[in-house]
């Protein structure tokens, strides 16, 4: 009778373990909890029954005590494990859902920017070659420093620098990480934020026609300019989704768009990053560091 009671206790325990396994959200935990208790229960049942047939009454008492202790220990530890596992699964699900929501929100804003630019850019024609009107490889150039440049974007070098024809154009009033810069995301893990900013600008303007208001240039006919697609500012498109920042040293126009992106934790603002101009200055200082300072400990002795 006692053995039957213990066996039923094991069966009930396996059902309880299975329930906690289901609550933990893991089918593996459920199967393991039920299977282990059933195997242990039947093994102990037949072992004790066999020993009782030989009249080992002293062993009977010891085994009963051990069995009860085993049931208690397995039950307590099993429940602790399943609750911890379930909590971990739930926390992972919450983080994944939050990350997915942030990504959907960010991508939604970015897609709206892209969609708007695409619609505004439909029907544009691109000039190429050398024409009588001064057009050179898709650029309208008149004089040493033209007021306006219109042309097709042929290459993107970073989140703020691209080419129209054979000439580089830097977006005025904004800055973005260079391709060599590394930032940290919301999980505090490193990622190539410079490459990501470059990829975003590529999606926005590569192969499209821009109208650029020139703010400065050099003797090689490379320019700093504010560029638009059908009157819509490209800098706004980059800063508003968080993949560029306002260059306060030259303009305050883009600060409101940066503040909005920061408040929504979009793009770079989802994690941690060093301001592009600070990261650039650090790289310049490292390159300018004297060779003697770069030598190792033993190199200094020779």
124-145 pLDDT tens trace: 433 333 333 333 333 444 446 7
String of DSSP letters for 112-150 = HHHHHHHHHHTT-----SB-TT-EETTEE--SSS-SEEE
Would you list the domain boundaries of the chain? 2-89, 104-287
Six token digits for residue 100: 């997915």
- The Cα 36–Cα 14 span in angstroms is 8
What residues contact 129, with CB distance under 8 A and at least 6 apart? 135, 137
Type and span of the H or E element at 74: helix 57-121
Segments in the chain below pLDDT 70: 1-11, 13-61, 79, 82-144, 290-302
CB 219 within 8 A of CB 128: no
pLDDT at 189: 93
Q: Of the candidates 168, 140, 143, 144, which has an alpha carbon nearest to the alpha carbon of residue 154?
A: 168
Give the global pTM: 0.57
CATH 3.40.50.300 describes domain 104-287: no
pLDDT at 300: 45
Q: Of the candidates 164, 147, 148, 151, which has an alpha carbon nearest to the alpha carbon of residue 124?
A: 151
42-96 pLDDT tens trace: 666 666 666 666 655 666 667 777 777 777 787 777 767 766 666 665 565 555 5
Type and span of the H or E element at 285: helix 276-288
What residues contact 280, with CB distance under 8 A and at least 6 apart? 178
- The Cα 155–Cα 76 span in angstroms is 64
Measure CA of the first residue to CA of the last residue in the chain; give whole Å: 89
pLDDT at 221: 78
């Amino acid at each position: 009778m006692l053995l039957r009671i213990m066996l039923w206790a094991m069966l009930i325990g396996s059902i309880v373990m299975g329930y906690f396994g289901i609550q933990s959200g893991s089918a593996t935990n459920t199967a393991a909890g039920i299977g282990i208790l059933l195997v242990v229960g039947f093994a102990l049942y037949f072992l004790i029954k066999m020993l009782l047939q030989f009249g080992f009454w002293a062993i009977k008492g010891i085994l009963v005590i051990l069995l009860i202790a085993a049931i208690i220990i397995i039950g307590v530890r099993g429940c602790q494990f399943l609750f911890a596992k379930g909590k971990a699964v739930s926390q992972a699900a919450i983080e994944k859902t939050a990350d997915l929501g942030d990504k959907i929100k960010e991508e939604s804003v970015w897609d709206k920017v892209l969609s708007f630019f695409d619609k505004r850019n439909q029907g544009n024609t691109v000039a190429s070659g050398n024409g009588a009107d001064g057009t050179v490889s898709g650029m309208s150039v008149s004089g040493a420093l033209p007021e306006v440049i219109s042309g097709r974007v042929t290459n993107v070098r970073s989140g703020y620098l691209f080419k129209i024809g054979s000439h580089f154009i830097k977006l005025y009033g904004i800055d973005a990480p260079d391709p060599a810069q590394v930032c940290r995301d919301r999980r505090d893990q490193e990622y190539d934020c410079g490459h990501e900013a470059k990829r975003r600008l590529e999606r926005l303007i590569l192969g499209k026609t821009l109208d650029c208001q020139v703010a400065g240039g050099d003797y090689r006919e490379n320019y700093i300019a504010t560029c638009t697609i059908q009157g819509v500012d490209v800098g706004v498109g980059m800063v508003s989704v968080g993949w560029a920042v306002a260059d306060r040293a030259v303009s305050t126009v883009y600060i409101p768009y940066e503040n909005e992106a920061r408040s929504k934790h979009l793009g770079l603002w989802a994690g941690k990053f060093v301001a592009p101009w600070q990261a650039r200055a650090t790289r310049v200082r490292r390159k300018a560091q004297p060779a003697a300072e770069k030598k190792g400990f033993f190199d200094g002795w020779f």
